Amino acid sequence: MQTPVNPSSIANPAANYHHAVLVENPTRWLHTSGVVPTAPDGSTPDAMEDQAKVVWENIAAMLAAADMLALDIVSVTTYVVSGEPLGPVMAARDAFLGDHRAASTLVTVPELAQPQWRMEVAVVAAN
pLDDT digits (tens, 9 = 90+) for 46-72: 999 999 999 999 999 999 999 999 999
CATH number at residue 24: 3.30.1330.40
Count of structural domains within the chain: 1
State the pTM of this model: 0.91
Domain that holds residue 89: 2-126
Spell out the residues 6+ positions from residue 125 whose beta carbon is closer than 8 angstroms to its own: 29, 30, 63, 66, 68, 72, 73, 74
Confidence check: pLDDT of 1 > 80? no
